């Protein structure tokens, strides 16, 4: 019978479209779980400065550049150990003086300014901290002395945007990022444009012991990153979007399955035993109808736990006595009156045997469509909880990305990608399952078929 | 929910009820109303009791009561000049002693089962205690005031949007059942999966398009700052702020409602008695009103009621997205401030509101469906 149903199903274009979407989502989930294992995803999402440090903040997806005339910069990252674009000269000047000069050269073909320039200096010394001068060389040969400093304590990070002295030296107006001054053709213009060409950063290091070493890293933070962009904590949104897929699918599927199957069993038990069991089930259903589900979930999230799987359990508990009991009950009442049940009773089949093997199978075709249509509503429920700030504390999910975006004013600041990416995924999940579910409904409920 | 009897009743019976006159209808309605009221009150009691059980598994309700008592007694001591003269340690000792007496008087030392019924009484009479951090707009810290002062905003928004939705969806569904198979019909059927997303989700898109991008409508809120002086301007301003939320709620439920109802109308318009009326030459509009709409209305109201309840449940998040100063946002704020009394109080109010919604819809149901009798039609 199921094979026939499948043949019937593929005749509906919307069912096919829904299936394609679902297969795509399942494929993404499998790919994600295999390539980024759970621990790795948690590390990448909840790590810290050492993982996200070299990634720009609030950067749009890199493919934006394919659609705009104005090319936005990618991030440029170089270290003193690199081969390409880095020239390093180490020499001894006297008995107590060594030099370590590094020249970083990079091409800058973009039409917009970078967010930030940062130079990280790492020194391993015995006694006296090494001394470093930073010099910025524009493509036209102009030199700007950025800073002179001692690398105290082994580590020093120099950030151009925080250097107010530099802004004054470049004669920039107030509130203009010094980065603009370093890249602009004419920094005082109303709308400055970056100069294209090869820039250089020259590092002149002075060391005082033969064993002392100096490592450095240059990062020019762009304004686009990866295929999904980044958030306010410099995290790659791609991780959350990818990992959100298996989480959403498993949450929706488990909740829908749990709810539908338990509802059906309860309805079957009520109908079969009748009497006070049935009456009790009916009354519980009526009470359940006036229980405020979302506020109760909020209460549980605040007082006890925010774990996604605990929430799942509570959601199932709160929804098993839902409106589905009434519809299932009506069908079971008809099934119970049929002669084959009478026959089963006559040859002495046990109550459970009759419920599980004679009644339940009859209702499965009608609950499959409602199960599929229920999945998106649970996926959206998870997102709703996340938007209320009650998302799972550990797992990255789509809803949590939307929540972060909303809380950080993404819509006000025009960071539309941040909201649209998770929303798009939620939307196609919802539509995909709904399209399949509606088509299944037509296949299994022939009364709807001609309409 | 009132139960419905399967299948349409023969038309003669429906006419008959009307002809027999009003008194019996009113009596029936009154009896039905009273029974439903009692049943729903029991339901609310159980719902609120469950809320208390959940909240008090971590001892949160006890905590609310204890801090309330302590605060009351501390205030009493502070206002009484006789106690003000006492040294601080002595005063503290007396406060502690009085708190212990008061806790004993209120039964806080009793076993949980006894206490829980005590709480139930307080919750049902809306004695919801005092908040920890939040204050009402008038500066009060009574949880009841904090919550109830936001109620009108919520009722205005959800009431208007549900009426708009019901009217539009019913009209379109009737139109489509008349023009079955037209491109508009196919359009609505094709778009029905869009209803799998909740209202807040469409809210984000609508804010993005109409507020952030086109800048035609406000991002959220209920009135402009500062609010207009004249009442007419004020009402218009609120209406202006309501456009986006209503659009979002409508978008999220209209397609599925129209699809479901139109299908239902189509099934009913192929009934024998409708064919018969057509053959008799009854005007198509009259057929629609008397032979299709009338018998389907109870079912349509049921499906609508479930929708209204669903929307109610989503209020906390919907109002947060639109920054609408209603009940839902109070709950959201309470969650952020971890204000336990307000959270528990909101749950109680929501249980009441849901029961009230169900009750209202039951009454409407009883009015439109003459077959509803108390206890009758159950085992058909």
Could you say which of B197, B212, B316 has the minimum Cβ distance to residue A298? B316
Reported confidence tier of residue B52, pLDDT bands at 50, 70, 90: confident
CA quadruple B334, B339, B344, B349: dihedral, nearest 10? -40
CA quadruple B190, B193, B197, B203: dihedral, nearest 10? 10
Q: In chain A, which residues have their Cβ closer than 8 Å to the Cβ of B50?
A: 291
> Domain B151-368, what fold?
MetI-like fold (1.10.3720)
As a whole number, mean pLDDT of residues B117-140 equals: 80
d(C-alpha A102, C-alpha A137), whole Å? 13
Could you say which of B200, B266, B336 has the minimum Cβ distance to residue A451? B266
Share of chain B above pLDDT 90, in %: 5
Q: In chain A, which residues have their Cβ closer than 8 Å to the Cβ of B201?
A: 380, 383, 423, 426-427
pLDDT score recorded for residue A31: 94
Query: What's the ipTM?
Result: 0.78
Q: For chain B, what's the residue count?
A: 380
pLDDT score recorded for residue B135: 79
| pLDDT tens per residue across span B172-231 | 998 888 888 888 888 888 888 888 888 888 998 898 888 888 888 888 888 887 888 888
* Most confident option among A106-110, A164-168, A179-183: A106-110
Reported confidence tier of residue B372, pLDDT bands at 50, 70, 90: low
pLDDT score recorded for residue A267: 92
Rounded to the nearest angstrom, the gap between the alpha carbon of residue B66 and the centroid of all alpha carbons in its chain is: 31
To which residue do tokens 């029991």 refer? B42
What DSSP character marks residue A390?
A: I
Reported confidence tier of residue A398, pLDDT bands at 50, 70, 90: very high
Could you say which of A286, A303, A426 has the minimum Cβ distance to residue B43? A286
> Is A428 within 8 Å of chain B by CB?
no
Could you say which of B263, B320, B355 has the minimum Cβ distance to residue A451? B263
| pLDDT tens per residue across span A213-222 | 888 888 888 8
Reported confidence tier of residue A407, pLDDT bands at 50, 70, 90: confident
Closest-CA residue of chain A to B50: A291
As a whole number, mean pLDDT of residues A191-196 equals: 85
**Cα B126 to Cα B87, B138, B144, distances in angstroms:** 38, 19, 7
> Is A282 within 8 Å of chain B by CB?
no
Could you say which of A18, A296, A412 has the minimum Cβ distance to residue B347? A296
| pLDDT tens per residue across span A244-302 | 999 999 999 999 999 999 999 999 999 999 889 998 998 888 888 777 888 888 888 88
Q: In chain A, which residues have their Cβ closer than 8 Å to the Cβ of B214?
A: none
From A58's Cα to the closest Cα of chain B, the distance in A is 18
Closest-CA residue of chain A to B334: A302
What is the distance between the terminal CA atoms of chain B, rounded to a whole angstrom?
16
What is the distance between the terminal CA atoms of chain A, rounded to a whole angstrom?
23
| pLDDT tens per residue across span A291-348 | 788 888 888 888 888 888 888 999 998 888 887 888 888 888 888 888 888 898 888 8
As a whole number, mean pLDDT of residues B131-159 equals: 84
> Please, are residues B248 and B211 in contact by the beta-carbon 8 Å criterion?
no
pLDDT score recorded for residue A1: 58
d(C-alpha B208, C-alpha A172), whole Å? 35
Question: What are the boundaries of each domain within chain B?
Answer: 21-124, 151-368
pLDDT score recorded for residue B20: 45
Task: Record the pTM.
Answer: 0.81
> Is A36 within 8 Å of chain B by CB?
no
* Most confident option among A94-108, A174-188, B125-139: A94-108
With CA atoms as reference, report the closest residue to A327 among A376, A380, A271, A383: A271
| pLDDT tens per residue across span A80-104 | 888 788 888 888 888 888 888 888 9
d(C-alpha B106, C-alpha B97), whole Å? 14
Closest-CA residue of chain B to A294: B313
d(C-alpha A139, C-alpha A160), whole Å? 18
**Are A302 and B343 a contacting pair at CB < 8 A?**
yes
Complete domains list, chain A, with CATH? 2-45+235-448 (1.10.3720.10), 71-221 (2.60.120)
**Are A387 and B207 a contacting pair at CB < 8 A?**
no
As a whole number, mean pLDDT of residues A22-28 equals: 94
Share of chain A above pLDDT 90, in %: 16
Could you say which of B212, B263, B347 has the minimum Cβ distance to residue A292? B347
**Are A402 and B266 a contacting pair at CB < 8 A?**
no
To which residue do tokens 């674009």 refer? A85
For CA atoms A240, A243, A247, A248, give the dihedral sign: positive
Query: Would the pLDDT of A148 be above 60?
Result: yes
From B79's Cα to the closest Cα of chain A, the distance in A is 35
> Is A296 within 8 Å of chain B by CB?
yes
What DSSP character marks residue A59?
A: P
What DSSP character marks residue B270?
A: T
**Are B208 and A416 a contacting pair at CB < 8 A?**
yes
User: Given phi > 0 = left and psi -120 to 50 = alpha, else beta, which region is A82?
Assistant: beta
As a whole number, mean pLDDT of residues B309-317 equals: 81
As a whole number, mean pLDDT of residues A207-233 equals: 85
d(C-alpha A226, C-alpha A213), whole Å? 34
d(C-alpha B291, C-alpha B17), whole Å? 16
Share of chain A above pLDDT 70, in %: 98
pLDDT score recorded for residue B368: 75
């Amino acid at each position: 019978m199921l094979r026939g149903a499948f043949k019937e199903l593929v005749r509906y274009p919307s069912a096919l479209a829904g299936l394609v979407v679902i297969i795509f989502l399942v494929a993404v989930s499998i790919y994600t779980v295999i390539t980024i294992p759970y621990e790795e995803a948690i590390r990448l999402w909840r790590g810290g400065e050492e993982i996200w440090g070299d990634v720009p903040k609030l950067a749009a997806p890199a493919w934006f550049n394919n659609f705009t005339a104005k090319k936005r910069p990618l991030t440029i990252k170089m270290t003193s150990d690199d081969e390409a674009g880095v020239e390093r000269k180490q020499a001894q000047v006297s008995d107590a003086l060594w030099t370590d000069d590094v020249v970083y050269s990079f091409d800058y073909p973009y039409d917009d300014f970078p967010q930030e320039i940062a130079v990280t200096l790492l020194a391993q010394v015995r006694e006296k901290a090494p001394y470093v001068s930073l010099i910025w060389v524009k493509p036209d040969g102009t030199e700007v002395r950025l800073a002179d400093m001692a690398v105290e304590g082994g580590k020093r990070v120099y950030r151009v945007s925080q250097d107010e002295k530099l802004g004054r030296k470049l004669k920039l107006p107030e509130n203009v990022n010094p980065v603009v001054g370093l890249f602009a053709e004419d920094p005082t213009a109303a709308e400055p444009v970056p100069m294209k060409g090869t820039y250089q950063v020259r590092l002149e290091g002075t060391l005082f012991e033969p064993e002392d070493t100096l490592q450095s890293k240059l990062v020019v933070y762009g304004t686009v990153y990866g295929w999904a962009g980044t958030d306010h904590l410099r995290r790659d949104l791609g991780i959350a979007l990818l990992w959100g897929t298996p989480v959403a699918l498993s949450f929706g599927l488990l909740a829908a399955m749990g709810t539908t199957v338990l509802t059906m069993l309860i309805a079957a038990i009520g109908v079969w035993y009748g009497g006070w069991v049935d009456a009790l089930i009916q009354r519980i259903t009526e009470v359940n109808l006036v229980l405020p589900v979302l506020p109760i979930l909020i209460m549980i999230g605040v007082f006890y736990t925010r774990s996604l799987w605990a929430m799942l359990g509570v959601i199932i508990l709160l929804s098993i006595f839902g409106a589905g009991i009434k519809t299932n009950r009506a069908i079971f009442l008809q099934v119970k009156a049929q002669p084959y049940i009478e026959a089963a009773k006559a040859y002495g089949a046990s109550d459970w045997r009759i419920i599980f093997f004679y009644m339940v199978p009859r209702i499965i075709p009608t609950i499959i469509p409602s199960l599929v249509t229920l999945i998106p509503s649970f996926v959206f429920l998870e997102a709703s909880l996340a938007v209320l700030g009650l998302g799972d504390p550990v797992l990255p999910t789509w809803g949590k990305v939307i929540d972060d975006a909303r809380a950080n004013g993404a819509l006000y600041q025009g960071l539309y990608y941040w909201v649209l990416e998770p929303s798009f995924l939620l939307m196609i999940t919802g539509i995909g399952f709904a399209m399949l579910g509606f088509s299944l409904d037509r296949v299994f409920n022939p009364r709807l078929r001609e309409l | 929910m009132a139960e419905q009897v399967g299948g349409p009743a023969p038309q003669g019976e429906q006419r008959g009820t009307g002809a027999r006159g009003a008194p019996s209808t009113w009596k029936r309605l009154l009896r039905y109303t009273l029974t439903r009221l009692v049943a729903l009150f029991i339901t609310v009691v159980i719902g609120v009791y469950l809320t208390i059980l959940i909240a008090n598994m971590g001892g949160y309700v006890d905590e609310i009561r204890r801090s309330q008592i302590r605060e009351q007694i501390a205030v009493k001591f502070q206002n009484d000049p006789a106690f003000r003269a006492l040294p601080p340690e002595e005063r503290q000792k007396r406060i502690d002693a009085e708190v212990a007496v008061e806790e004993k008087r209120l039964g806080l030392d009793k076993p949980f089962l006894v206490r829980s019924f005590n709480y139930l009484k307080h919750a049902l009479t809306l004695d919801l205690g005092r908040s920890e951090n939040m204050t009402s707009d008038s500066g009060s810290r009574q949880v009841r005031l904090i919550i109830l002062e936001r109620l009108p905003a919520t009722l205005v928004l959800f009431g208007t949007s549900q009426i708009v939705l019901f009217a539009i969806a019913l009209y379109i569904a009737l139109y489509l059942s008349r023009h079955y198979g037209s491109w508009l019909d196919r359009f609505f059927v094709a778009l029905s999966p869009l209803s799998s997303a909740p209202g807040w989700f469409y809210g984000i898109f609508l804010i993005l398009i109409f507020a952030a991008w086109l800048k035609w409508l406000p991002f959220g809120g209920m009135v402009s700052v500062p609010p207009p002086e004249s009442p007419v301007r004020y009402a218009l301003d609120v209406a202006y702020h309501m456009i986006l939320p209503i659009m979002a709620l409508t978008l999220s439920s209209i397609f599925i409602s129209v699809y479901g109802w139109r299908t239902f109308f189509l099934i009913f318009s192929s009934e024998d008695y409708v064919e018969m009326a057509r053959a008799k030459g009854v005007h198509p509009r009259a057929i629609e009103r008397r032979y299709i709409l009338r018998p389907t209305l109870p079912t349509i109201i049921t499906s609508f009621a479930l929708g209204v309840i669903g929307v109610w449940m989503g209020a906390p998040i919907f109002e947060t997205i639109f920054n609408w100063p209603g009940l839902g946002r109070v709950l959201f704020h309470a969650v952020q401030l971890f204000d336990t009394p307000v959270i528990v109080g909101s749950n109680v109010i929501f249980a009441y509101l849901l029961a009230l919604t169900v009750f209202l819809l039951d009454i409407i149901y009883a009015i439109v469906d003459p077959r509803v009798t108390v206890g009758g039609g159950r085992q058909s």
